[in-house]
Amino acid sequence: SNLLNNGSKSQQISLLPSLSTRQFSEGAGAKQARMQTFSVYRWDPNGTEAPTEVDYQVDVSDCPMILDILIKIKNQQDTTLSFRRSCREGICGSCSMNIDGTNTLACLCRTKPGSGVKTRILPLPHVSIVKDLVGDLTLFYDHYKAIEPWLQRKTPKEDENVEHYMSIEDRKKLDGMYECILCACCSTSCPSFWWNADKYYGPAALMQAFRWIDDSRDEFTKERLERLNDAWKLYRCHGIMNCTNTCPKHLEPSVAIQKIKHAIDNM
């Protein structure tokens, strides 16, 4: 914009005269339409049809991320398309889904370049479906609750009026674990979790369990480790590493799970 806040116009100095003339000749913001095909999983629990994959042709020139495309389909083509989304910036973890075989956040997954290409959008694998791309994450949340993700103390604070102190080195130990947004991409990519979702806690919950085990302020470390020392909750992990591979926030749950196993060995 050429207007300053006080309403006066400033002179726009054109450093690239050829660029500005091209802009004026094509019309502001005009881009070539890029058509791509999106094959989206659809299922309506209140209908009678079986699940299908419906193809949508979308002009992706104004859609940098897959979430933009889904919103465009919902706005312009099919309002009944259901999917979770909230922050559109990769921090809330709502829009986790399977795009071209990989579990990621739709708002962080870039649209493919070019036109005429096809992208397959499915819900998270081996998850009961509520509708279209919305999966039932109840088991995932139950496992997170089961690890008791809060600070547990035996001794009171030295001074009631200040927080629990923690050294800088101890705080660094939590880096790479506290950033987890519980999007469920990792747990839903783990074949062990597919086959034992009711009993195996899954990489997300286990990484958060280790986040509390490694927290220097928490005094229930031994109890936390003992509760995890179980053939089902922890040891269904066989080092498949799909979790680290797929995490959209580039965290490493498999490293945290290894650390839990080491800690139990050394207990």
Partner 1 sequence: LNIMSAPLRRSGLQQQVMRLYGGFLRQLRAKVLDQNCGLTVEQLPEVRRNIRMQFEKNRNIPKTDFMRIEYLIRNGEKQLKAFANPTVTGISTAGS
Query: Exactly one of 21, 75, 128, 245 binds partner 1 (CB under 8 A); which one?
Result: 128
According to the binding rule CB under 8 A, does residue 52 interact with partner 1?
A: no
Spatial distance between the Cα atoms of 234 and 210, rounded to a whole number of angstroms: 11
8 A C-beta contact, residue 36 and residue 119: yes
Q: Which of residues 221-250 bind partner 1 (CB under 8 A)?
A: none
Kindly state the smallest distance separating residue 152's Cβ from partner 1, in Å.
25
Site size toward partner 1, by CB under 8 A: 10
8 A C-beta contact, residue 60 and residue 34: yes
Among the listed ranges 23-31, 45-53, 155-163, 194-202, the one in contact with partner 1 (CB under 8 A) is 45-53
Amino acid at position 159, single letter: D
Q: Count the neighbouring beta carbons within 10 Å of the beta carbon of residue 64.
A: 12
Residue 221: name the closest of 128, 139, 133, 151 by CA.
151
According to the binding rule CB under 8 A, does residue 145 interact with partner 1?
A: no
Q: What sign does the dihedral 108-109-111-112 (CA atoms) show?
A: positive
Q: What sign does the dihedral 237-243-245-249 (CA atoms) show?
A: negative
Kindly state the smallest distance separating residue 135's Cβ from partner 1, in Å.
12
Kindly state the smallest distance separating residue 45's Cβ from partner 1, in Å.
5
Query: Exactly one of 78, 136, 226, 230 binds partner 1 (CB under 8 A); which one?
Result: 136
Kindly state the smallest distance separating residue 44's Cβ from partner 1, in Å.
10
Residues that bind partner 1 (CB under 8 A): 43, 45, 48, 50-51, 128-130, 136, 138
